[in-house]
Copies of this chain bind each other. A is one copy, B any other.
Amino acid sequence: MREQFEVRNHDGMGRLGRLEVPRADQTVETPALLPVVNPNVLTIEPRRLREEFGAEILITNSYIIRNTDRVRERALEEGLHELLGFDGAIMTDSGSFQLAEYGDIDVTTEEILEFQRAIGSDIGTPVDIPTPPDVDRETAVSDLAETKDALAEAETVDTGEMLVNAPVQGSTYPDLREEAGSHAAATDLDVFPVGAVVPMMNGYRYADMVEAVLGAKRGLGPAAPVHLFGAGHPMMLALAVACGCDLFDSAAYALMARDGRYLTVSGTEQLEELRHFPCSCPVCAEHTPADVRGAPDDETERLLAEHNLHVTFEEMRRIKQAIASGNLMELVERRARGHPRMLDGYRTLLDHAEQVEAHDPVSKGSFFYLSRESARRPEVARYHDRIERLPVPDSLLLTQSKAPSDHDFDEAWRVWPPFGPAPAALSETYPLTATVPERADPDLQRAAAAGVARLVAANPEADVTLAHDDWDERALAAVPDAVTLENLAELHR
């Protein structure tokens, strides 16, 4: 374990944790949202970020501070916390973003880390290379080599109590992300941002984002605190937490507000086009869209920024509660219906059910079957694996109805869609306690049929009869030929 980070609860790869920030002498609850504060434009006073929004940590840009004479002098004299008026933890970025945007910056990792330490940053960042998506593999590899050099340089700098970020790059190559993650985890640096995902998110490429994060996570391992750099739109937070990210930063709240854009958990709206606010945050409870449009420009921008930040922190609280309740995947299911590309992202996460399953608690509060995607959740895969290890008698009745008291089989087991057959002793245990639709659902039936097939494959000598409730032909096609079928609906006619 990395000593500054402690994971307290898991749900899939999502977790509730605590990050100790020694220089600030504070502990940050994760998942955490870091509002991005532009030292030159305080859209919302940092003091209010803490008091009214509950921000425990924020992020600002040390490169901008270093290159702005007036601010640099104050930061060096008073320190960042005094400069910004914020007594929580402060992370600083290094100028890597500017490097990616403008192609060149005038500072080295050593210089910027020393500057970050000098102005009192609590978590500093080296100058890594944020490789954009879709570059050719050679570029991704050579950029990654430069990032590794930056991490090596960072390890040599005396940073005192300041924690140091070790960014994980690799563009759209999951294997490079994994390699970069392994390399970063082997340094003595502290926090692990997955970098250069902003272009993916701007392009709604959530499937690529999931692949990049899961690649990085395979390399980083479960002990590393992971920051999804530049990610703060409320619509993607649940998916990213479910991929194992712990820290997020939002510049979106302020940048979007400047353009008249209004964030929601299912996308971005234009203030111009809203007749009603789909929110009850303090801004939206007290104003109509017409009120906000009619305010002076800077007031409109501030109100929008406040709403944007409220809805983002609200989603973060919802995510924390979901992990505590063990229903993060249900939240991800809901968010996957915000946009077709979010569904792509969720389906990509389900492609990696095995990776997720390794971290998932064996028992949780509930399992809701909410879509055909639910049949691909890690809990279903795990139960199908478990079926193979169940002791099976010579002759076995599997039935969807209550097991009959009188039968000629050695045992009678219930079948629990989407999981499959289970002996009576398991039937009150998670996940068989799932809540499923009452209407017939071919996907549910097919998943249960796959469970039956696993049982038969592991016990080819057993004599198995399946009494099903009028299953769809696609589900029946997944039941092995050796199984005797009885249709309960026909029996009852």
Instruction: Please report A residues at the B interface, Cβ cutoff 8 Å.
Output: 52, 207, 266, 273-282, 284-285, 310-311, 313-314, 317-318, 320-322, 324-325, 330, 333-334, 336-341, 343-344, 347-348, 368-373, 435-439, 443
**Is the CB–CB distance between B348 and A439 below 8 Å?**
yes
Total identical chains: 2
**Is the CB–CB distance between A368 and B348 below 8 Å?**
no
Determine how close the nearest CB of chain B comes to the CB of A16; give it in whole angstroms.
9
Determine how close the nearest CB of chain B comes to the CB of A117; give it in whole angstroms.
34
**Is the CB–CB distance between B368 and A371 below 8 Å?**
no
Bound-complex Cα distance A436 to B342 (A): 10
Bound-complex Cα distance A334 to B338 (A): 7
Dominant secondary structure of chain A at its interface with chain B = helix
Bound-complex Cα distance A397 to B334 (A): 39
**Is the CB–CB distance between A281 and B278 below 8 Å?**
no
**Is the CB–CB distance between B266 and A334 below 8 Å?**
yes
**Is the CB–CB distance between B341 and A437 below 8 Å?**
yes
**Is the CB–CB distance between A438 and B337 below 8 Å?**
no
The residues of B that contact A372 with a CB separation of less than 8 Å are: 371-372, 443
**Is the CB–CB distance between B310 and A278 below 8 Å?**
no
The residues of B that contact A339 with a CB separation of less than 8 Å are: 368, 370, 435
The residues of B that contact A336 with a CB separation of less than 8 Å are: 337, 370
The residues of B that contact A279 with a CB separation of less than 8 Å are: 280, 314, 317-318
Q: A274-B321, A280-B311, A320-B275 are in contact. Are A333 and B337 (CB under 8 A)?
A: yes
Bound-complex Cα distance A493 to B279 (A): 49
Bound-complex Cα distance A439 to B344 (A): 6
Bound-complex Cα distance A439 to B348 (A): 9
Bound-complex Cα distance A339 to B280 (A): 23
**Is the CB–CB distance between B318 and A278 below 8 Å?**
yes
Q: A52-B285, A314-B280 are in contact. Are A341 and B438 (CB under 8 A)?
A: yes
**Is the CB–CB distance between B317 and A340 below 8 Å?**
no
Determine how close the nearest CB of chain B comes to the CB of A35; give it in whole angstroms.
15
Q: A347-B439, A372-B372 are in contact. Are A285 and B266 (CB under 8 A)?
A: no
A-B contact pairs, 8 of them (CB 8 A): A276-B324, A278-B318, A280-B314, A340-B369, A340-B436, A340-B437, A341-B437, A344-B438
Least CB separation from A332: chain B residue: B337
Bound-complex Cα distance A274 to B320 (A): 10
Bound-complex Cα distance A334 to B267 (A): 12
Q: A340-B368, A439-B207 are in contact. Are A310 and B285 (CB under 8 A)?
A: yes
Least CB separation from A339: chain B residue: B368
Determine how close the nearest CB of chain B comes to the CB of A66; give it in whole angstroms.
35
- Residue in B282, B337, B435 whose beta carbon sits within 8 Å of that of A337 in the complex: B337
Bound-complex Cα distance A259 to B343 (A): 36
Bound-complex Cα distance A285 to B285 (A): 11
Q: A333-B337, A438-B341 are in contact. Are A321 and B280 (CB under 8 A)?
A: no
Determine how close the nearest CB of chain B comes to the CB of A114; give it in whole angstroms.
38
The residues of B that contact A368 with a CB separation of less than 8 Å are: 339-340
Least CB separation from A16: chain B residue: B275
Bound-complex Cα distance A340 to B439 (A): 10
Least CB separation from A205: chain B residue: B438
Bound-complex Cα distance A311 to B284 (A): 12
Bound-complex Cα distance A280 to B263 (A): 14
Q: A281-B280, A285-B52 are in contact. Are A370 and B340 (CB under 8 A)?
A: yes
Q: A285-B282, A321-B274, A334-B334 are in contact. Are A437 and B314 (CB under 8 A)?
A: no
**Is the CB–CB distance between A325 and B370 below 8 Å?**
no
Bound-complex Cα distance A438 to B341 (A): 7
Bound-complex Cα distance A310 to B337 (A): 24
Bound-complex Cα distance A336 to B441 (A): 15
**Is the CB–CB distance between B277 and A317 below 8 Å?**
yes
Least CB separation from A474: chain B residue: B474
Bound-complex Cα distance A320 to B289 (A): 13
